[in-house]
Amino acid sequence: MSSAFKFSAQGAEVYVPDELALPKALTRVTHLGVGAHQDDLEFMAFAPILECFGAEDKWFAGVTCTNGAGSARDSIYASYTDAQMMVVRRGEQRKAALIGEYAAQFQLNHPSSLAKDPNDELLVEDLLRILEATRPEAVYTHNLADKHDTHVAVALKLITAIRQLPKAARPKSLTGCEVWRDLDWMEDADKVVMAVDGHENLGDALMGVFDSQICGGKRYDLATRGRRKAHATYFESHATDKSQNLIFGMDMTPLIEDDKLSPDDLIKSYMKNFQDEVLTRLKGLQ
């Protein structure tokens, strides 16, 4: 772990699994995942993790924005205090970064309440520093239709941070990923379709690291694996499966290309496209 990076929250860190010195570890980053909680990246951003795994010219880096306090817990973790859970979850996130061969893993250690505060700028400042240090080509975060407040708040703060960069220095793409609401409802033309075939063992290992969450009362691993397989089967009704595992994303790139476009208007456009498609089919069959 390194303390050579400036953070706004006490206890924040950047972990470099292969121990390459900063800033070399950060300048190699091509794909950046920004999640609210420990384990979000491994469940929602497996596509870029897999794309970079074992590649010499592509490197994934992760950002976890909150500190892990207040998480649901059961089994051996039922008696753990928030402080103990924070230690456990931070360690699990480091293990995932090691298994996935990340270029780096940032843990910003902010309370969830700060992430959800629209007037707080500390998280935005941290994200801006990371973007400036890594200059990723592609960024992945939570989608705007997620039903977890902290997830949506992190996505909005990331958009704010990217918009503070000069346009020439911004990522080429921003994709919103599935966690607490899948994106099967979106029109196919609006989806970012990410095949994650092969290395299912890697996907299982990355999810399985988060024992405090899975044994804590939620089988996120089984649910996520099932979602990926269901997407692959139900994606096309009149064709055989072209993939065994699919992850859907929401294209949020327009928000970092046009600073005047609001997140509200972008999500409204996707919802309208879905509504129009359903109503057109109904009308044509009556």
pLDDT at 256 over 50: yes
> What span, in angstroms and rounded, lies between the C-alpha atoms of 251 and 256?
11
Where does the pLDDT of residue 260 fall: very low under 50, low under 70, confident under 90, or very high at 90 and above? very high
> What span, in angstroms and rounded, lies between the C-alpha atoms of 244 and 246?
7
Q: Tell me: the pLDDT tens digits for 109-165? A: 999 999 999 999 999 999 999 999 999 999 999 999 999 999 999 999 999 999 999
User: Coil, strand or helix: which one is 14?
Assistant: strand
Beta-carbon contacts of 145 under 8 Å, excluding residues fewer than 6 positions away, are 176, 181, 183, 250, 267, 270
What pLDDT does residue 186 have? 97
Q: 140 has which bridge partners?
A: 33, 175
With beta carbons less than 8 A apart as the criterion, state whether 139 and 171 touch: yes
The first and second tokens of residue 102, run together, are 């990340």
At 104, the amino acid letter reads A
> What span, in angstroms and rounded, lies between the C-alpha atoms of 191 and 141?
15
What pLDDT does residue 69 have? 78
Mean pLDDT along residues 14-35: 96
What pLDDT does residue 75 have? 74
CA distances 141 to 46, 120, 149, Å, are 12, 19, 14
What pLDDT does residue 120 have? 93
Residue whose tokens read 């290309």: 257
pLDDT at 216 over 70: no
pLDDT at 72 over 90: no
Where does the pLDDT of residue 214 fall: very low under 50, low under 70, confident under 90, or very high at 90 and above? confident
Q: Which has more pLDDT, 4 or 259? A: 259
Closest CA to 245 of 190, 204, 189: 204
Q: What is the pTM of this model?
A: 0.95
Mean pLDDT along residues 210-224: 87
What pLDDT does residue 4 have? 62
Mean pLDDT along residues 239-243: 83
List helix spans (H) across 11-148.
Answer: 24-27, 40-44, 46-52, 82-99, 112-115, 122-134
Closest CA to 163 of 249, 252, 65, 264: 252
At 213, the amino acid letter reads Q
Question: Would you call the peptide bond into 23 cis, given omega within 30 degrees of 0 as the criterion?
Answer: yes
pLDDT at 183 over 50: yes
What pLDDT does residue 1 have? 45
> What span, in angstroms and rounded, lies between the C-alpha atoms of 149 and 156?
11
The first and second tokens of residue 199, run together, are 């290395």
pLDDT at 107 over 50: yes
What pLDDT does residue 68 have? 81
Buried b (16+ CB within 10 A) or exposed e, 93-120: bbbbbebbbbbbbbbbbbebebbbeeeb
